[in-house]
Structure 1
Amino acid sequence: MTALESSSSTHAAGTNSLCPTRARSMSDKDFKRFAEFIHEECGIKLPPSKKTMLEARLQKRLRALGYGDYREYCEFLFTPEGMECELCNLIDQVTTNTTDFFREPKHFEYLYSTLLPKWMARQGAQRALNIWSAGCSIGAEPYTMACVLSDFKEKYSQFRFRILATDISNEVLGKAARGIYTQEQARGVPGNTLRKYFMRSKDRSKKLVRVAPEIRRQVEFRQLNFMESFKFREPKDIIFCRNVIIYFDKPTQAGLMKKFCANLKPGGYLFIGHSESLAGQSLPLEQVAPTIYRKS
């Protein structure tokens, strides 16, 4: 039990000494309150059709805290104690953390075959390539980057790089930092890359793999909420933000893209997901390949 669950369970014991197996249904009023708050804090838009999904995802927190209905949980969330202790748990429950290694492989082909050779021709060993995985989830994307960049470094020994990986959820960042995955989660990793950069569990019955230490050391994981104001000390050369903005409404998407452009070096590259579009947005970007943009 974490310190949060321990202290919060004490708070809840006054109203519910027994943990219910299932809370009463969420009222439309409470859903609206949750949805407005989640949109404000995370940028995620939850239409009324997502009410059942939200109920299911918050069940875990209600059981942990001993609440019998969503109203009680909602009232606790908006107390100073709730905002301090429970907000991160709410975010962990409502964010989607599905990702795959080498997802949308053409992006990594472009990175290795086109972008990196151009970088070496222009920069050489002058400085390290600075790359950001925005919305990294459980770490598959930044570790894929580290594998690809490490392969490139074998051809150009002077090549150096730094990878920052961020997510709003502290829970998934913890999983990402450990770098442990099921074989099913690692199914997208090519066989030679798997043998080269991953370690199999000594207990073969567990069917687990772990990212090798030399790859894990290449990635810095950090918590970041896109809805907050942020500005990196050094703008990035490459930003991957793929299959993230689809969860936001149009105004939020536009605001976020402006933040990304402000944190991208002139001549730097932005990669978005194939289900996403920047159409209609006035941004200092030119498209160089499908879902790949360069800052002009």
Structure 2
Amino acid sequence: MYSLRESSLFHQPVAAASAGDFDRAARLLYGRAGILLGEHKREMVERRLGLRARELGLGQVCAYLDLLERDAGSPHWEGFINGFTINHTAFFREYHHFPALARHARLCRRPLSVWCAACSTGEEAYSIAMTLNAECGMTETAVRITATDIDTHAIDHARQGVYAIERLSTLPDGYLPRYFQRGAGRQAGMARIKPALRNMIDFRVVNLLSSQWPEGPFDAIFCRNTMIYFDRPTQTRLLDRFARVLKRDGLLFAGHSENFTYLTEAFRLRGQTVYAVA
């Protein structure tokens, strides 16, 4: 999910930032990923840019931004974008969506196709897989779950499927032993998603602003607590694209603070932060 990482590294030496670096970085980030940087984040952003520049052996933040601007294909873009995303998520967050997904899935033809956009470190995608398996009896042959995020580190974490036990407190009763393997020895206090569940999901790095989206059509799309980090024109464009890759009876699941009814005529409200193609 898009947002800003909060940094606790303010004691580390950083490269120098000039007056225009924040505005320049904000333009670069918006152009590449559509993410808006608020003025209230200026100090944190400049600090993070300074840390990144110093890691690359550069004495000035402007030299780091020059490096990015010179080469749109530079591998350093990955670290730049990762530095401005946060992975604030949880298993079965906004729980009411999962019974709604199960009800919808029972009415759909198999195999089911679900896209979990901005999946962060995987908790949301695995919650979808657990729901479809536990409530609908679906396995990897009956459903295709595509889970994407722009943050490469988050996708690596999601693919591994390893989480601290305390992060599993929001699981429904019985799901922990059913879907997780507890770690032992040096892995004590951790748990890994069981292979059968991992096999239901295809994790990929995808920038929602790019033309290279997962292939639909989808029975359901989860894009929750993400659109709030885009401006209104970008939100409208993305919603229109979501409508084109959803099946006619497909559902779009939004975040609790997101309201799409005033942005586009492509969707109509179906339930609590659940939208259907108009």
Of the three residues 178, 182, 207, the one matched with 1:225 is 207
User: Hey, which of these two has a bigger chunk of helix by percent?
Assistant: 1
Of the three residues 61, 64, 75, the one matched with 1:85 is 75
Q: How many equivalent pairs are there?
A: 268
1:109-148 equivalences under 5 Å are 109-112=99-102, 114-119=103-108, 123=109, 127-148=110-131
Q: Deviations over 1:157-216 (max 9, x none)?
A: 998111000111111111110001112332222241111101111127741111111111
Distance 2:236 2:212 in 1: 15
> Closer, same or farther in 2 for the Cα pair 1:284/1:36, shift >3 Å?
same
Distance 1:64 1:187 in 2: 37
The residue type equivalent to 1:247 in the other structure is: Y
Distance 2:57 2:151 in 1: 23
SS of residue in 2 equivalent to 1:234 = coil
SS of residue in 2 equivalent to 1:229 = coil
The residue type equivalent to 1:68 in the other structure is: G
Distance 1:143 1:158 in 2: 13
Paired position in structure 2 for 1:160: 142
SS of residue in 1 equivalent to 2:107 = helix
> Closer, same or farther in 2 for the Cα pair 1:53/1:184, shift >3 Å?
farther
Distance 1:157 1:179 in 2: 17
> Closer, same or farther in 2 for the Cα pair 1:24/1:239, shift >3 Å?
same
* Contact residue 199 and residue 209 of structure 1 kept, 8 A: yes
1:227-246 equivalences under 5 Å are 227-246=209-228
* Contact residue 97 and residue 138 of structure 1 kept, 8 A: yes
* Contact residue 77 and residue 86 of structure 1 kept, 8 A: yes
Distance 1:275 1:223 in 2: 25
SS of residue in 1 equivalent to 2:207 = coil
Deviation at 1:110, TM superposition (A): 1.5
Alignment partner of 1:49 is 2:40: yes
The structure with higher relative contact order (CA 8 Å, sep 6+) is 2
> Closer, same or farther in 2 for the Cα pair 1:265/1:46, shift >3 Å?
same
| Structure (1 or 2) with the larger CA radius of gyration | 1
Tell me how large the CA RMSD over aligned residues is: 2.2
Distance 1:188 1:56 in 2: 34
Paired position in structure 1 for 2:263: 281
* Contact residue 140 and residue 200 of structure 2 kept, 8 A: no
Paired position in structure 2 for 1:291: 273
* Contact residue 101 and residue 186 of structure 1 kept, 8 A: yes
Off by >4 Å, runs of 4+ in structure 1 = 156-159
* Contact residue 135 and residue 244 of structure 1 kept, 8 A: yes
Unaligned 5+ segments in structure 1 are 1-19
Q: Deviations over 1:82-129 (max 9, x none)?
A: 7422001111111121110000000012222x212333xxx3xxx301
